[in-house]
Amino acid sequence: MTRYLFVTGKLAEPALRRTLAEVAPHAGFEYEVAVLNISVAALMTPSWIARHLRVPEHVERVMLPGFCAGDLTPVQEAAGTPVEIGPKDLRDLPDHFGRPAPSEYGKYDIEVIAEINHCPQLSLAEIIRQARHYRDSGADVIDLGCDPGVTWSGVANAVRALRAEGMRVSIDSFDAVEVDAAVRAGAELVLSVNRSNLEHARDWGREVVVIPSELSRATDPDRASEPVRAGEPDRVSDRVWAPLDELEDAIEKLTAWGVKHRIDPVIEPIGFGFAASLGRYLEARRRFPSTEIMMGIGNLTELTDADSAGINVLLAGFCQELGIRSVLTTEVINWARSSVRELDLARRLLYHAVKNHLLPKHIEPRLLLLRDEKLREHGDQALAELAQQIIDKNIRVFAERGLLHVISGKMRLQGSDPFELFAQMTQRDEIESSHAFYLGYEMAKAVTALTLGKNYVQDQALDWGFLTVPEAGHRGRIPPECP
């Protein structure tokens, strides 16, 4: 078994030893602990460690605290053995040793098409801005969504501009003139065709998405040939879709014409045939086992009062199992404004889970946005030990088990109301006015963590998955007496 030397400071030693005693037998390594002459391990630097660390000959690897930043070469040379950085929180050591990153993780086979809605109403600069955002979020294809009624004269310029930036482009329109201009400018995919415009597909020379015709639309029968567009709930009404026989006829014609195609049976919003529409996808896969299928996920994420991440993961899982290899989404409504990034992460998670017959659990923490994967608690014993060791006046804040805990060399307070705790500190003259903003900021984060079930670590940003914005920290901004 590998023999590790874990480097820490005096305050963290008891907790580190308890954690290692639990982790090492299961993770299969032996260990020693080197306690250096410093209270807070986060203040160590590689050059300082190199001057003070003595490494026994039988040690095979050295693990430094997670906050140890900088070039590790001095420690490497002094130790004469490999050196690595551990997690920032020692309570994460079980995961550090127990969940190695799968070497094949990150692969996917679902294409993400991101639609820019109402393009004719946008400037070219705004179209390019949104397209860049979608591309940077993980989109494979940028879909230009057109408006019905008026032919967009700028469609060719928009397609050429995006193609000049190396982007793949699709055109979302039933207007044959718009589509003709877009494909000549370089659009590679046409959304969508049905029996109303199928014949035009023979001339475009591009892949098309086939949808069933809509047999009725009570609120706007003149627009019955168009697909539902996410973000337009006023256009959702009772609808009757043509049977899948129509898709079969379209597939036969397109195949005979040599036109590449995929089908989209159309997913419906909840309350307007959602369950039945999932059944159409299942039936379509049964009837057309070798035909590519697309799903417009935006019809759920944009039209449901729920944060989009969970919906995107669920529907991407449905697509992964059914062999649906492309999804269309958009980011119109505020609660869905990170849908493209969510789908990019979801397709990787679900490819790995389905391929390896694993639960999609404890694999992709970046998709856990509201609550953390698990709560890490110090416990009363650890906090009591810490309070006994601390002799300086720096204030430490902890949040766990429904309470805020405030500890320094002169006090140990706990409670659920930060205002009451702050009043107690000021009554004891334990806080200076210059530190009030800092503590108020930290208390606000701590209360948020308690409210949502998240982990709070002083001087660190709360973990919002891939939405996390790192904090620069307070050091150098406020008087040094503040922790």
List of long-range contacts for 310-317, beta carbons under 8 Å, 24+ apart: 312/339, 312/342, 312/343, 312/346, 313/342, 313/346, 313/349, 313/350, 313/360, 313/367, 315/267, 316/110, 316/343, 316/346, 316/347, 316/350, 317/346, 317/350, 317/353, 317/354, 317/360
Distance CA(93)–CA(8), nearest Å, equals 13
Structure token pair of residue 232: 């337009």
Type of residue found at 302:
E
Does residue 131 contact residue 120 with C-beta atoms inside 8 Å?
no
Dihedral pair phi/psi, residue 262, rounded to 5°: -140, 160
Q: What is the pLDDT of residue 483?
A: 38
- Residue intervals of the chain classified under CATH 3.40.50 are 2-98
Residue 112's DSSP bridge partners are: 327
Is the predicted pLDDT of residue 355 greater than 80, yes or no? yes
Dihedral pair phi/psi, residue 280, rounded to 5°: -65, -40
Q: What is the pLDDT of residue 168?
A: 98
Assigned CATH class of 2-98: alpha beta
pLDDT digits (tens, 9 = 90+) for 143-169: 999 998 889 999 999 999 999 999 999
pLDDT > 90 in the chain, percent: 60
- Determine the average pLDDT of the residues in 79-85: 90
What is the overall mean pLDDT for the chain? 88
Is the predicted pLDDT of residue 119 greater than 50, yes or no? yes
Q: What is the pLDDT of residue 305?
A: 95
List of E strands, 259-395: 261-263, 292-296, 326-329
Structure token pair of residue 466: 């891939």
Which superfamily does 111-361 belong to? Dihydropteroate synthase-like (3.20.20.20)
pLDDT digits (tens, 9 = 90+) for 27-78: 889 999 999 988 888 888 899 999 999 999 889 999 998 888 888 998 888 8
Distance CA(467)–CA(366), nearest Å, equals 8
Is the predicted pLDDT of residue 224 greater than 90, yes or no? no
Determine which helix (DSSP H) or strand (DSSP E) holds 47, and give its type and residue range: helix 46-52
Q: What is the pLDDT of residue 43?
A: 81
Q: What is the pLDDT of residue 218?
A: 44
Structure token pair of residue 388: 């006994």
pLDDT digits (tens, 9 = 90+) for 225-247: 455 554 444 455 556 778 899 99
Burial 107-132 (b: 16+ CB within 10 A, else e): ebebbbbbbbbebbebeeeebbebbe
Longest dimension (CA), the chain: 86
Q: What is the pLDDT of residue 281?
A: 96
Q: Tokens 């009624």 map to which residue?
A: 149
- The residues, ordered by sequence, that sit 6+ positions from 414 with a Cβ below 8 Å of its Cβ are 403, 404, 405, 406, 421
- Determine the average pLDDT of the residues in 428-452: 85
Alpha helices in 325-417, H assignment, sequence order: 339-356, 379-389
Q: What is the pLDDT of residue 239?
A: 65
Is the predicted pLDDT of residue 326 greater than 70, yes or no? yes
> Cα–Cα–Cα angle for 300, 313, 269, nearest 5°?
10
pLDDT > 70 in the chain, percent: 90
Does residue 313 contact residue 367 with C-beta atoms inside 8 Å?
yes
Is the predicted pLDDT of residue 304 greater than 60, yes or no? yes
Does residue 299 contact residue 267 with C-beta atoms inside 8 Å?
yes
Dihedral pair phi/psi, residue 112, rounded to 5°: -105, 120
Distance CA(456)–CA(386), nearest Å, equals 17
pLDDT digits (tens, 9 = 90+) for 251-284: 999 999 999 999 999 999 999 999 999 999 999 9
Is the predicted pLDDT of residue 476 greater than 70, yes or no? no
- Residue intervals of the chain classified under CATH 3.20.20.20 are 111-361
Cα Rg, the chain, nearest whole Å: 29
Does residue 295 contact residue 111 with C-beta atoms inside 8 Å?
no
Distance CA(154)–CA(229), nearest Å, equals 21
Helices 124-137, 339-356: inter-axial angle, 10-degree rounding: 30
